[in-house]
Amino acid sequence: MSDASYRDAIFSTPLDRVARFSFDEKVVACFPDMIRRSVPGYGQILGMLSLIAQRHLRHGAHVYDLGCSLGASGLALAGTLEPDAFRYTGIDLSPAMVSQARQTFLVECSDHAMQVEEADIRTLEYAPSGLIILNFTLQFLPAADRDALLAKLYAALEPGGVLILSEKTVDADERDNAWRVERYHDFKRANGYSDLEISQKRTALENVLVPDTLDALHGRLAKAGFPRSVTWFQYLNFASLIAFKEG
Ligand SMILES: Nc1ncnc2c1ncn2[C@@H]1O[C@H](C[S@+](CC[C@H]([NH3+])C(=O)[O-])CC(=O)[O-])[C@@H](O)[C@H]1O
Ligand SMILES: O=C(O)C(=O)Cc1ccccc1
């Protein structure tokens, strides 16, 4: 497969039955376009990852990117950090994502130590790491599995290590939430999605992407052991948090 990315038109025609959203070959083929047009601030979050790594990562430390998809975070790091600055392991459950990510790293940054493994992040045995990235992945796990994963990640982090947690969020207040979701739909419309695409994708994501509130995310991080977490980015109903393990 080439690394050409197609325009996302997955939900553009009326479907009799909208299937549950899955990270299959069809999604892989248009994923860069889909995520760029669907996640407010996605590019800015990737850009900031490198700056955070430059501040917090010990030279040569190991980095996990959990639910790495096509390895965009890894590419961002490799584009800005020297080859010996870090070792990267991307993990994803989707075979189509994993093979495309491996291909991309081979072509784009063979001078850096970049690995991609097909695995379930809930059952993986984690190696000690200085930075763990969970970019829009926790939201796809059953809510009951989220705390156990975060506790494992806290244990895997080295002293002074950091976790980046980016998520779609929901507001506890129904009116606030409705306003934010409506403006998010405006954002998607402005990025070329039709009302039909917006509504069919919303159906496909029901019970698949289940967002937490920002408070709940900070609560989960505290419960996992992190003494401190900060929301460093927020744009509509998308946010990114950094959680610190004491040094
Ligand atoms: N249990 C699991 N184990 C491993 N992977 C999983 C699991 N569940 C879901 N995934 C994987 O998590 C990824 C979520 S996308 C991440 C974007 C990326 N981080 C990016 O910055 O471009 C988010 C989005 O598309 O909104 C998919 O590739 C799934 O296969
Ligand atoms: O498109 C949406 O509604 C989202 O919440 C973002 C998204 C982006 C890519 C895959 C799944 C969800």
Q: Which atom of ligand 2 is nearest to the CA of 31?
A: 9
For residue 69, say whether it is annotated as part of any ligand binding site: yes
| Angular region, 41: left φ>0, alpha ψ -120 to 50, beta rest | left
For residue 202, say whether it is annotated as part of any ligand binding site: yes
The SS3 call for residue 53 is: helix
Which ligand minimizes its atom distance to the CA of 197?
2
Query: Are 29 and 97 contacting, i.e. CB atoms less than 8 angstroms apart?
Result: no
What residue's CA is closest to ligand 1, atom 13? 67
Residue 36, Cβ neighbours under 10 Å: how many? 14
Domains of the chain in sequence order: 38-65+127-247 (3.40.50.150), 68-76+92-120 (no CATH)
Instruction: Please state, in angstroms and rounded to a whole number, the distance separating the CA atoms of residues 221 and 219.
Output: 5
- Mean pLDDT (the chain) is 97
ipTM over the 0.95 cut-off? yes
| Pick from 147, 87, 141, 145: nearest CA to 116 | 87
Q: Which atom of ligand 1 is nearest to the CA of 124?
A: 3
What residue's CA is closest to ligand 1, atom 24? 136
Residue 5: the pLDDT is 82
For 183-238, write each residue's pLDDT tens digit: 999 999 999 999 999 999 999 999 999 999 999 999 999 999 999 999 999 999 99
The DSSP string of 99-149 is HHHHHHHHHH-TTSEEEEEE--TTTPPPPPEEEEEEES-GGGS-HHHHHHH
What residue's CA is closest to ligand 2, atom 4? 38
**pLDDT at residue 116 tops 60:** yes
**pLDDT at residue 167 tops 70:** yes
